[in-house]
Amino acid sequence: MHGYDLLVVGSANADLVIRVDRRPAAGETVLGSDVATHPGGKGANQAVAAARLGADTVLLARVGDDAHGRLLADSLGAAGVDTTGILAGGAPTGVALITVDPSGDNSIVVSPGANARLSVEDVRGAGELLAAARVVSLQLEIPIDTVTAAVGAATAAGSRVVLNPSPPAPLPAEVLAACDPLVVNEHEARFLLGADAGDTPEDWASALLVQGPRSVVVTMGAAGALVADPSGALRIPSPSVEAVDTTGAGDAFTGALAWRLGTGDDLETAVRFAVRVGAAAVTKAGAQASFPTLEEVTAAI
């Protein structure tokens, strides 16, 4: 019997954020704001986003035995995430270096740290968590062998698998075959497809479905998202909002999507909800701090 709405298997980082008038070109130095430190990482972000919406969420991740690791554990617990699966040690907590320009667009460099030590053995040790989750959501800020092991365990337990291949990397066939959906943005789609990418979200979704996932969601920023499965494709628009900071918006979208699928929503309905959550998330600064509650989504968008 499934005891969790959602298990997120992924990264937990400290986000070091600097605001700039413009992002630097190659070889260029620009001045920025004071550094702000926020809890982040795609795995932790997705878990917090879902928990703030009301999902019964647990995170399997690895952090360092350091101040950044304690920051993450505290913030996850405060958001309502079950921290049973948070493992400590092996390396310093991962760090993301983020620059944000006045339009809210960002550039990110990630030092994986302890995230790179989340292992296949850690997945095996978390068998009870994997067996208890209706949906398992993953990203690629952890080793691909670990992702593959978690997908295999989730499939064996009858859990639905949601995967965002970010940062993009080649995916084993058995991982692609389990995705329902595979969630990509333009950059991730073009990486996975290479020269066969095409020019439109419909092109990308169609070509990705040939690679094996059961369904595909293409996120399109302010334009919303595209939902595709073998029966066809549909664009779902996003509400119009004034963007302050897009950091973590994709994670808020995916966390919301994965939760709603776990409650029994069909894919289209879940994506319609998720685009509203993603839109709400860009109206505030930071990643986890910007994620809305269910009441805020209902009231604001």
Catalytic residue among 5, 82, 229, 251: 251
User: Does 286 count as an annotated binding residue?
Assistant: yes
Name the 3-class secondary structure at 56: coil
* Rounded-to-integer distance, Cα 285 and Cα 207, Å: 35
Active site residue 251: yes
User: Does 15 count as an annotated binding residue?
Assistant: yes
User: Does 145 count as an annotated binding residue?
Assistant: no
3-state percent breakdown (helix, strand, coil) of the chain, nearest 5: 40, 25, 35
User: Does 14 count as an annotated binding residue?
Assistant: yes
Joined together, the tokens standing for residue 256 give 């919301």
Helical pair 201-210 and 186-193, crossing angle rounded to 10 deg: 40
User: Does 280 count as an annotated binding residue?
Assistant: no
User: Does 1 count as an annotated binding residue?
Assistant: no
User: Does 84 count as an annotated binding residue?
Assistant: no
- What sections of the chain are H helices per DSSP? 42-53, 67-79, 120-125, 127-131, 144-156, 173-178, 186-193, 201-210, 249-262, 267-281, 294-300
User: Does 258 count as an annotated binding residue?
Assistant: no
Asked whether 48 and 255 are in contact (CB, 8 A), the reply is: yes
User: Does 221 count as an annotated binding residue?
Assistant: yes
86, with CB counted inside 10 A (0-12, 13-18, 19+), is buried
User: Does 197 count as an annotated binding residue?
Assistant: no
User: Does 44 count as an annotated binding residue?
Assistant: yes
Binding-site residues from annotation for ATP: 185, 219-224, 250-251
Which residues are identified as catalytic? Answer: 251
Binding-site residues from annotation for K(+): 245, 247, 281, 284, 286, 290
Binding-site residues from annotation for substrate: 13-15, 41-45, 141, 251
Binding-site residues from annotation: 13-15, 41-45, 141, 185, 219-224, 245, 247, 250-251, 281, 284, 286, 290
